[in-house]
A and B are shown apart, each in its own frame.
Chain A
Amino acid sequence: MAKRIDVSDLNVYYGGFKAVEGVSMTVEPRSVTAFIGPSGCGKSTFLRTLNRMHEVIPGGRVEGKVMLDDQDLYAASMDPVTVRRTVGMVFQRPNPFPTMSIYDNVAAGLRLNGVKNKKTLDGIVEQSLKGANLWTEVKDRLSKPGAGLSGGQQQRLCIARAIAVQPQVLLMDEPCSALDPISTLAIEDLINELKNDFTIVIVTHNMQQAARVSDRTAFFNLKATGEPGRLVEVDDTTRIFNNPTEQATEDYISGRFG
C-alpha cells in the first residue's frame, strides 16, 4: 500500500512570499521520515505541499515537482481531492468532528465520499480503530461523541479516521505536541506499527522523538527571518544525530541554537 515520494526543486509560496526554497528529497516507502528544524523554517509548510493542503490557504502555491511513485501530484490533470485521499494527514491539535460519534468520525472520510454499505463501514471502522490502538478503549461506546475522549485518544481517533480511507502515505504535523508523555508514547508506538503499511512523514519539534521514531531525518533551517526555509540535509536518522554532514545540523542537534 505504501508509495515513495520524490520531490524535486520545490519552491513554496504564500502569495508573494517565498516560504520554502529548492527542496529536493526522497521519502522512502514503509518508513518513517522526520522533519526537524526551528520554528518558521517551513517544515510544516513543506509537509502540507505533499498532499496539496497548502493551496487551501489563500495565495498558497508551489513551483516544482512532487512525484508519488509515477504520479505527478501537481500535474494539471490531477485533482487535489484525489491526492488527499491518497496522502492522508494528522494535525497538530486533535480535531475530531464535534457533531459526530466515535464511529461516525472514523467513517466520515468514506461516508462523505459516498460509501453507504453498513457492513463495509463496520469492518473498516473496527479495523481502523484497531490499527490506531484505540479499539479496546472505545469499542463499547462507539456511538458516544468523539469530542468526549481524552486528548491522546482523540489524536488516535484522528489517526484512525485518516487511515480509514486507506491512504498510501500518512503525513503527521507535530501529532504529539498537544499531548502528555503517556499519550505521546502511545502515538509513537502506533507510528512504529503503522510504518509496516504506510509511508509516514512526521514533523516534530522534539528531537528525541525524531530519534526514537524515524528511520530518516530531514533538517530544515532558514538563514534569517524573512528568508525562505531550506532543506539543509536529509539522511539516515542515526547518521543525522551522530555524524551529520553539515555544521548547521550538528549545531542544531547539539543544542547550540534553536
Chain B
Amino acid sequence: MSTATDRRLPDDRVPDDQVASGDTSTPPGGRSGRDALSEMSNPHRARAVKDVVARVVMWAAFFLAVVPLVWILGTVIGKGFHMLTTSTWWTGNQRNVNSDDFGGGARHAIEGTLQMVGITALIAVPIGILTAVYLVEYGRGHLARVISFTVDILSGVPSIVAALFIYAIWVTAFGFSRSGFAAALALVLLMIPVIVRSTEEMLKLVPNELREASYALGVPKWATVVKIVLRTAFSGIVTGVLLGIARVMGETAPLLILAPYTKNFQRDLFNGNFPTLPMMINQDRGDFALATAAERMWGAALTLILLVLLLNVIGRVIAHFGAVKK
C-alpha cells in the first residue's frame, strides 16, 4: 500500500482500510490495544453484538420507509373510499357538479388518464426499447456514448421543463392548441429514459453465451436479438415499462401546462380540454374548504393509486407468463 505514509493520521492511528487489507500488525484504528485484545478473546460476543446492531438499524430503516407509505395509503383510503362506492363514481362525469355539490363521477378523468398514458406508452415504449437494444447490442464508440449521455440528461429533466419544451414546439412554433396529445408528448419525454435504462439493465443480464449459441446456429444477429435476447429479457422489460407508466401516470406539471381540465367526457386527444385524474384532484383541491370537493379529491387520489396498482398487477401477470421457465 503505497499511500500508507501519506495517509497516516497525526496520532499515528492507522486508517481502517489498512486493517481490512490485513497488512498491519498494529491494532485496528480508533481502538486501544487492550480493547482489541479483549475483543479477540471473545470474538463470538462481539459478533453477536454487531449482528444485533445491524438488525436493529435495518429494521429501523425499513420502518422509516414504510411508515409514510402506510400513512398515505391509510389517509387516502380512509377519506376517499366511500366516494368509490357512490353510484355515479365509475359511470358519470363532473358536468354541472358544482364544488359544493356532493359526488358526481370520475369516469371522464379515468378514461382520459388511461387514454393519455396509453398513447404515451405507444410512442415511448418502442423508442425506449429500440434505443436500449441499440445501446446494448449494436452501439459502439462515440454515437453510443452520446446517446447514453443524452438519456442520462433526459432522465434528469424536470417534468415542468419537458412540458414547457413541448409547449414551445407544439403550441408556440407549430401553432397547435393545447390538448391531451400535447401533454402526452411531454410525458413521452419523461417516460423514454425510464424505459431505456430499465431495458438496458435487463438486456445486459442476458448471458452472452445465449447470443453466441444463437450465432453458432447460423441465426442472423437481428433474429438473435428479437427471438433470443428480447425474449429472454421479456419479463424484466415489462416490469420496466410498468415503472415508466407508473412514473408518468401521476405526473401533473405537463397537464397543468398543456392539457387544461374539463369536467366533461372528452375522447378527442387533439382538440379541446382534456380530463385526467391528477387534474381532477387539482381542480377539487382549489375548493378544499368545501367538504364535498375535498371528498372528491381524495376519491380521485385513491382511484389514481388503484389504477397504477391495477396496471402493475396486469404487468406482473404478463411478466409471469413470459418469464424464463425453470
Contacts and interface: CB of A to CB of B under 8 A. Distances in A.
A91 B326 contact: no
Contact of B231 (A81, A84, A99): A99
Interface string A110-136: 001100000000000000000000000
B216 A162 contact: yes
Given A112-B223, A112-B227, A113-B218, A91 B325 contact: no
B213 interface: yes
A101 B224 CA distance: 17
B324 A147 contact: yes
B125 to A, nearest CB: 20
Interface in B102-143: 140
Given A58-B140, A145-B325, A147-B326, A95 B215 contact: no
A153 B326 CA distance: 15
Interface in A212-236: none
Contacts of A108: 214, 217, 219
A83 B210 CA distance: 19
B228 interface: yes
A82 B227 CA distance: 19
B158 interface: no
A198 to B, nearest CB: 14
B325 A99 contact: yes
Interface residues of A, number: 31
A27 B325 CA distance: 40
- Of A85, A91, A95, A147, most buried by chain B (CB within 10 Å of CB) is A95
B22 interface: no
A22 interface: no
A181 interface: no
A15 interface: no
Contacts of B232: 97-99
Interface of B: 140, 207, 209-220, 223-224, 227-228, 231-232, 234, 324-326
19 contacts: A56-B211, A81-B220, A83-B218, A84-B216, A89-B216, A91-B209, A91-B212, A91-B216, A93-B209, A95-B207, A97-B213, A97-B228, A97-B232, A99-B234, A99-B325, A145-B326, A147-B326, A161-B217, A165-B218
